[in-house]
Structure 1
Amino acid sequence: MLRVLGIGLRLLAWIFRRFPLQRRVVMLSRQGNKPSVDFLMLKDKLAEIDPALPVIIRCTKPEQHGIMQLIAPMCNQLWYACTSRVVILDGYNPCICIPPKRQGTFVIQLWHAVGAVKKFGYQSLDTPAGRSSSYAKLAHMHKQYDLIVAGGIGAKDTFAKAFGYPTSAISALGLPRIDKLLLASSSHNEATSRWPWLNHEKPNVLYAPTLRAKRISAGWLTQAVKDLSALSTEVGFELIVSKHPLTTLQNIEMLPPQIHVLKDGCTEDLLREVDVVLTDYSAIALEAGLVGTPVFFYVPDIKEYRSSPGLNIDPEKDNRLTAATQVSELFPLLTDPVLFQEKAKQYFSFIDEYFAGIQPTATERLAELIYRKVD
């Protein structure tokens, strides 16, 4: 199927390249049907610089459609990829990676996370969680980028390995979403009006795990929340669960009153409002640090993750990070204020190094770079 797709994309691209190249910026995503905050903030900034510059956003979610429903959005994305001066991606896109790139087109990979705790791309080839080498070759995985943007300097080496480029092709310019985190203006009152349970006098703990592969037991989140629920009763804290839409949490209606499952709003909106974040291999572990909220890693399956897909940031091996493989190991962290502050200070030293030099001006810098490339 992938071989046939490649033939079709090359043929259509050859036809589309017969049309004039437009002074236009197009942002293409296959991460979801709605544009990311990065795309929206960049579009607004480009409109400030040049209101006459066309900026097009095209989004789709391949996993939510059958093959026939994919044809139209893919052809639409291919058209814009072949006829625009600047193309911005937030993940792998066959419309750019497979057909020969048109001369005069500048391609930017604006990856959809501020960093990478777990390995991806070429780092995880031929592991159960990754792609096969034969697939990567047929898909021309992550080929034809002119610039790859990293959220922080700590991600440069990781991105170079994951995308298969030299580190000179990776620029730690930061992401618009980092600007949003650093400059967030929403008040505590606004947050508590959306989530009244934030008004409780007890500490708020946010649990935000990453999406697990299909091969992992479907009940893993239910078990994790059950274990953390028992801890919340023992210690006395409110537990807020932010689950991935594709992850199943069973018997939500039977959870005790101090457990709250986030149903609306982005997880990022809560980061300033909670006292600590528990996560595993999610980039939320990095985002929380940017807003000054400490993170502890709850990683009962870390041995499996080390082997597949692998870890770029191993919280058990970096002495600035704090990892627990059992719920009981979280108890002293959440009950001893001196230990909590000590571990938080160590974590923030890691964040300071990972995002060294980052200022809340990434959107402006990226927009100016894009504008220079569009002419």
Structure 2
Amino acid sequence: MRRILAQLYMIILRGVAIIFRPFNLQTKVVMLVTFQDNPEQILKKMADLRVSPETIVFYDPRVDETQLSYNFVRTIPLTFSSIFKRLYHMSRAKVVIVDNYFPELAALKFKEEACCIQIWHANGALKKFAWEDKATPLRAKSEQKRFKAVYARFHKVVVGSDMMGEIFKRSFLLESEDRLLKIGVPSTDYFFEQEQLKQIRASYREKYQKKTILYAPTFRDSELNQAKILLDLEKMRELLSDEYVLLLKLHPSIQANATIPEDDFIKLFPKNQSMQEALAGADVLVTDYSSSPFEFALLSRPIYFFTPDIEQYDRERGLVTGFSELIPGGEPYLTTESLARGILNDEADLDEIARFSATWNKYSEGRSAANLVDFIQKKL
């Protein structure tokens, strides 16, 4: 039944899109955003450079809309009720920017002068997604056809490295190298603002009075029903509390459902503060398959990979080929005790982290947002 309803929904969207197709293009930008960091940097740079065409931002309600508000921007919640508005404005915009998979793109047929830019929401990938997701071959043929139609709408895909470009080509079925926009990822500009980074780190040192470990695991689908933290918090406390404070940056649904008392060692990172700030302030990052290490590597600080469920995760979701060879440090840690002792012994190799950053942030040099704004301006 769900599949039939999805097909009917797409038929309706295509019909509506046909109505809007004859309308002339307007000199405006439409953005569909589900994550904050990239659009925030892009809009900030548009304001700085006084590139201010009419810009309509459809934003996920979980995004802080106040950080996307400028006098040339109109913000509209990205909800079911705004779907026809999205189709209308996307049909008439010269530039459409998206940061995720949006099924309504399959209903559109962009005019030749229009450009749809996929900025994605991560500057690297350790887990498979889109066409490479292990669940994709199990989908119905109609769903797979829709996926392909959405990927085909991406005229350009912003990349920060050749490595990520190759992943995008496989994941979005991009046949031409020309569809890659090698200008760097806008969100990474944040990590080149040295004065701001110094202030944030100093504020963390003053607040916690110890070095900070940021634990930022990726979200797992199973966690919607059962909150679970793989890290043994008591073992971390036993071995590290003399020198460190442990900051937990968890998915909102996990943080809401898990019972984690805060104390002098364990601190829950506030949900209303950004991941970028968490990375800027932390001395050490502990993660698994998330995209956080790609940005944190720009700071030249220790990164540790803790993956006790690596075999299960790879089997069910899928990791990029050669995961252990790609991450700095080689083999990830499988137990909390080995991880804690690795942190105590400063086992992170900063030279390897620098090489990791150079590989994944090749085109991200602190002016990625300006590069994209320049591209947008030319398209307008």
Aligned residue pairs total 354
Q: How does 1:60-209 map to 2 (within 5 A)?
A: 60=60, 70-126=79-135, 134-139=142-147, 140-166=149-175, 168=177, 169-186=179-196, 188=198, 197-200=207-210, 203-209=211-217
Partner letter of residue 99 of structure 1? L
For residues 319 and 44 of structure 1, the distance between their equivalents in structure 2, rounded to whole angstroms, comes to 32
Q: Which whole-Å deviations, capped at 9, do the CAs of 1:210-268 have from their partners, x for residues lacking one?
A: 111137872422xx34x133223223321110001122452223x44300010141122
Aligned to 2:21: 17
Q: Which amino acid aligns with 2:317?
A: P
Q: Distance in 1 between matches of 2:186 and 2:180?
A: 17
C-alpha separation in 1, matches of 2:223 and 2:288: 18
Please point out which of 293, 300, 307 is paired with 2:308: 300
Matches within 5 A, 1:1-375: 1-29=5-33, 31=34, 36-51=36-51, 53-60=53-60, 70-126=79-135, 134-139=142-147, 140-166=149-175, 168=177, 169-186=179-196, 188=198, 197-200=207-210, 203-214=211-222, 218-221=226-229, 224-225=230-231, 227-236=232-241, 237-248=244-255, 250-253=258-261, 255-263=262-270, 264-312=272-320, 314-318=322-326, 320-322=328-330, 323-337=332-346, 339-340=347-348, 343-374=349-380
Contact 1:41 1:176 in 2 (8 A): yes
| Equivalent-residue separation in structure 1 for 2:98 and 2:119 (angstroms) | 6
* AA at the equivalent of 1:170: L
Distance apart, 1:115 and its partner CA? 1.4
Structure 1 residue 355 displacement after superposition: 1.8
Identity fraction in percent = 23
TM-score, scaled relative to structure 2: 0.84
Which residue identity lines up with residue 44 of structure 2 in the other structure? Answer: D
Cα distance in 1 between the residues matched to 2:192 and 2:141:
39
Q: What is the aligned-residue RMSD (CA, Å)? A: 2.7
Structure 2 CA distance for aligned equivalents of residues 60 and 276 of structure 1 = 30
In 2, Cα distance between equivalents of 1:206 and 1:313: 26
Give 1:60 deviation, angstroms. Answer: 3.3
Q: 1:9 to 1:310 in 2, by over 3 A?
A: same
Q: Give distance in 2, aligned partners of 1:132 and 1:293.
A: 44
Tell me, in whole angstroms, the C-alpha distance in 2 between the residues paired with 1:190 and 1:355.
Answer: 22
Contact 2:151–2:172 (CA under 8 A) maintained in structure 1: yes
1:347 shift after superposition? 2.5
Maintained 8 Å contact 2:235/2:337: no
Question: Aligned partners of 1:216, 1:85: CA distance in 2, in Å?
Answer: 39
* Native 8 Å contact 2:201 2:282 kept in 1: no
Q: Which runs of no fewer than 5 residues in structure 1 stay unpaired?
A: 63-68
Q: Secondary structure at the match of 2:94?
A: strand
**Which string of whole-angstrom CA distances, capped at 9 and with x for unpartnered residues, describes residues 108-146 of structure 1?**
011011111111000014369x85554221353422111
In structure 2, C-alpha distance between the alignment counterparts of 1:282 and 1:183, rounded to whole Å: 23
Name the stretch that deviates more: 328-337 or 313-322. 313-322
Q: Is the 8 A contact 1:279 1:296 kept in 2?
A: yes
Counterpart Cα distance in 1 of 2:251 and 2:223: 16
Q: CA deviation at 1:189?
A: 5.2
Distance in structure 2 (CA, Å) of the matches to 1:313 and 1:296: 19
Q: Is the CA contact (8 Å cut-off) linking 1:47 and 1:53 kept in structure 2?
A: no
Whole-Å separation in 2 of the counterparts to 1:282 and 1:133: 29
* Alpha-carbon distance between aligned partners in 2 of 1:318 and 1:18, rounded to the nearest angstrom: 48
Q: Is the 8 A contact 1:127 1:308 kept in 2?
A: no
- What is the CA-CA distance between 1:175 and the residue it aligns to? 1.7
1:61, distance to aligned residue in structure 2 (A): 5.7
> Structure 2 stretches of 5 or more lacking a match?
63-77
Deviations 1:48-73 (A, max 9, x none): 445552122112369xxxxxx94421
Q: Secondary structure at the match of 1:316?
A: helix
- 1:309 counterpart letter in structure 2: R
